[in-house]
Chain A
Amino acid sequence: MRLQLSAAAALASLWMTVWATAAAEPTGDHADVAVRTSLYADDDATVISTTSVAVEGRATERATLRAHYVADAVSSASVDVVTAATGRWTELRSEVQGGAAWSDGTWAVTADYVHSREHDWASHTVALSGSRDLFQHNLTLALGVSAVDNQVGRAGDVTFARQQRSAGVDARAVWVASPRDLWSASYTVGYVAGYQASPYRYALVAGPAATAIGFPETAPDRRLRHAVTARWNHAVFTAAAVRSHARVYLDDWGVASMTAGTGLAVALGEHLEVEATLRGYLQRHAAFYQDVYDQPRRYLTADRELSTFRDVFAGARARWRGERVVVDAGVTGFGFWFAEFERLPRRLGVIGELGLRVAL
Chain B
Amino acid sequence: MATKVVMEALSPTMEEGRLVEWKKQEGEPVTVGDVLAEVETDKAVMELVARAGGTLLKHIVEAGATVPVSEPVAVIGEPGEDGSGAAGQREGGAERQRAGKPQTQPARSQATQPAPDRDQPTSMPPAPPAQAVIETSDATRPSPGPAKTATPPGAGSRVRASPLAKRMAAERGVDLSALAGSGPEGRIIARDLAGVAEASSTGVTPAPLPRRPTAPLTPYTDVPLTQIRKTIARRLAQSIGPIPTFYLTSEVDMERLWDSREALTAGQRGSTEAGQQVKISFNDIIIKAVGMALRQHPACNAWWQEDHIRYWNEVHVSMAVAVEEGLITPVIRHADQKGLREIAAETRDLAGRARERRLKPEEYTGGTFSVSNLGMLDIDEFTAVINPPEAGILAVGRIVRKPVAEQEQVALRRRMRITMSCDHRVIDGATGAQFLQTLKGMLENPLALVW
**A-B interaction:** no
- Please report A residues at the B interface, Cβ cutoff 8 Å: none
- Please report B residues at the A interface, Cβ cutoff 8 Å: none
